[in-house]
Amino acid sequence: MIRRHALGAFLLLLLTVPLRAADPFTIKMQKAAPPKEVADAVRQTLDEQCVQLCDAKGEVVIEFWPRKEVPAKATEAQVKNGLTYREIPETTLLGVLRIHRQWTDYRKQKVPAGVYTLRLAYQPMDGDHMGTAPYSEFALISPAGDDKRPDTMEVKALHDLSAKSTNNHPGVYLLFPGKDAGEPKLVDRGEGHWVLLYQLGVKAGDRKAVLPIGLTLVGTSTAA
């Protein structure tokens, strides 16, 4: 009788405790050569392990090929204390994205399916941009066919190039601080933000280091 009551109580608990819904997005690692749309000079800088963002059905919606080694301007002390985005020159190539179906960027702009380079950018400090994001670092996307070299460029040139990705404003993806980045993982930062935590390899002079990044693959600004 006691066992019967215990079993009944357990079944009742299962019925009354809400089950956690499955995450709408997951990631997996996949060895794959970068897309053919990527110029040879850029391709040579990329890792052949890509991160795939999958939807609830398991379909791949975005792929990210990180740069194997990002150049940094950092002192020995900065390397020791942990690098931040600010030790990386603006417009530095971070990697390449392949978007498999129409997506939206952080400004809710429509981004067509395609292959895009990903470069570091800082939010302009002007009245048009104040209060539109919790952080001031972004990754700007540009059509891979138009971004043929891994070198840095003038900031305005990057903005103009990135604007081709949306035929309007530069295509932007918010960068969260990469705190707790280790093995690649996808984390929910709230308000619909799904962020890829990843450690990019870095070379600062003769020193090797890592740059922890938090790339927002899903999520938009509340001000957009």
Q: For 173-214, how does the pLDDT look when each residue is reduced to its tens digit (9 = 90+)?
A: 999 999 888 899 999 999 999 999 999 999 998 899 999 999
- pLDDT(149) > 60: yes
What residues contact residue 98 under an 8 Å CB cut-off, 6+ apart?
A: 35, 62, 63, 65, 114, 115, 116
Nearest to 26 by CA among 186, 224, 223: 186
pLDDT in tens, 77-88: 999 899 999 999
Residue 8 pLDDT: 45
CB contact set of 65 (below 8 Å; sequence gap of 6+): 34, 46, 47, 48, 50, 95, 96, 97, 98
Instruction: Determine the average pLDDT of the residues in 1-24.
Output: 49
Whether 39 and 148 have beta carbons less than 8 Å apart is answered as yes
